[in-house]
Structure 1
Amino acid sequence: MARGSGNIRGARIGSGPLGEPERGDLAPRTTVSFWCGKDHHTQLSFAVEAVVPETWDCPRCGLPAGRDRDDVPVAEGTSRYLTHMGFVRQRRSQEDGEILLNEALAKLRGTS
């Protein structure tokens, strides 16, 4: 089995020299910790002059995460799925439905 030379191991061909001198220095950064309701801990780096958000979506579970471990944000509840009949029942009472049904049946029977 032939062994290749390890000269370029870990680097892409044509990527150029590694290190800071050619690319420039990184902007000054600050590390901020976020915790979600499932106690997942996430550390993110932000530029010092950047505005750090109050909440961040947890990359592990998707819940909102806050900067205070003891006071994590609560996920906004999602509304339950409603069928067409569910929406109708929000707008009309059972009695209104009976009246409309009787009117429609009367029209179909031709007795109105």
Structure 2
Amino acid sequence: MATGNSAIRGTRVGAGPARWADHAEPAPRQHVSYWCANGHEARPLFSAGAAAPDTWDCPRCGLPAGRDRDNPPERPRTEPYKTHLAYVKERRSDSDGEAILAEALARLRGERA
């Protein structure tokens, strides 16, 4: 078998037709501008018939971006990590804690006696 007479020589797998513009017309598209709180502009492409979303994630900083340049969405508020003790302090007052401690100490002292 001769290897020099290949009909697809010089192309790669997955390549489209050599003259794509001659065979099909691309779908109509539109650019939509979004701005984040850092002033970055993102311009993703959408189909002309599709409704563009109100917000888009900024590809540069990851903040949410909106369509209004003068009023971009606010930065998302992130809660700091809370320890187990912080959650307990939210549920119990100092007097509740003292009562629970006194009860536990009384139980321990009763077991030793």
TM-score, scaled to structure 2: 0.80
The C-alpha deviation readout for 1:32-58, integer Å capped at 9, x for no partner, is: 011100001111110112121111110
User: Which aligned segments of 4 or more residues in structure 1 are displaced greater than 4 angstroms?
Assistant: none
Structure 1 residues without counterparts, runs of 5 or longer: 1-7
The 3 A distance-change label for structure 1 pair 20 and 57 is same
Aligned length: 101
Q: Which has the larger radius of gyration?
A: 2
Indicate the residue corresponding to 2:50 in structure 1.
50
How far apart, in 2, do the equivalents of 1:81 and 1:38 lie? Answer: 25
Structure 2 residues without counterparts, runs of 5 or longer: 1-9
Indicate the residue corresponding to 1:13 in structure 2.
12
- Provide the aligned C-alpha RMSD in A: 1.9
Cα distance, 1:25 vs structure 2: 2.3
TM-score, scaled to structure 1: 0.81
| Larger strand percent | 1
Identity of aligned residues (%): 49
Q: Which secondary structure state, in structure 2, belongs to the residue aligned with residue 56 of structure 1?
A: strand
Indicate the residue corresponding to 2:67 in structure 1.
67
Residue 28 (1) aligns with residue 28 (2):
yes
